[in-house]
Amino acid sequence: MINLEAVGEGSTYAGELTKLGLHPDTLREALGASNTERRLCSKKHSARIAPGIYAYNGLVTSLSKQLDNQGWDRVDLAGVLPIMLNPEARVALGVTSGNRLTGIRAGRQQPSSRYPKGELTRKLVGRNISPGQIEFLARSAFQVEEPEDELDGYNLWLMLVYFDQRKKEIRHEISLPERLSLKGYVKDWYVRITPGDFYPVGEDAFEVEDDPNEGFGPPDIVSVEPR
């Protein structure tokens, strides 16, 4: 595993994102759209998990529209999991809810996904390789096999998002998962790209019953059909 505390040393958040074909302004605009759509929910009349569903849809919609104008493609795996693809950088990007450690450097403590993932995500993460391996393979004389499906040859990165009601901020990071735990949570990472600051949502941003982390991206229970 890569020494996570050393990743990005001597570089910047924006510089690390640029390697993936991303820009901080794109992510910040998507977070703003997520927060705006979340606040459309009514404490009195909306479903209990509506804030999370609205927040997830707002972020995915904004991210998809912006990246579409920047040369990315969009696929919906198994018809339910939206993934953005950068064909040039061979980067696949998904969105998921993280826990309270999202975006925070806390020694050996690492964030995890809020929900367990299914076999589809396990399969995709299992094909991820570290940046060091990518550089090695790029120099290798061995022939690369023809892709078996549309995501072969891509590294699956995740945009983890966490709404902190106490601190009144939205935290996020763009990270490359290494493996899933036995229970299906993403807990180990090759690389974590964390911003220096977080998206503020204002003093009156959250209502008591409003937990946008619940329902932010449905649990991935999609199985992989045998070939």
Mean pLDDT computed over every residue of the chain = 84
Cα angle 182, 187, 155 (rounded to 5 degrees) comes to 100
Question: Each residue of 92-130: pLDDT tens digit?
Answer: 999 999 999 999 998 889 999 999 998 889 999 999 998
* pLDDT, position 142: 45
Strand partners, 83: 75
* pLDDT, position 219: 59
Q: What is the DSSP letter of 137?
A: H
Inform me whether the pLDDT recorded for 225 exceeds 60: no
Task: Give the closest residue to 173 by CA, choosing from 118, 109, 121, 96.
Answer: 96
Token pair of 153 as six digits: 């040859």
* Greatest pairwise CA separation for the chain in angstroms: 63
pTM for the structure as a whole: 0.85
* pLDDT, position 204: 66
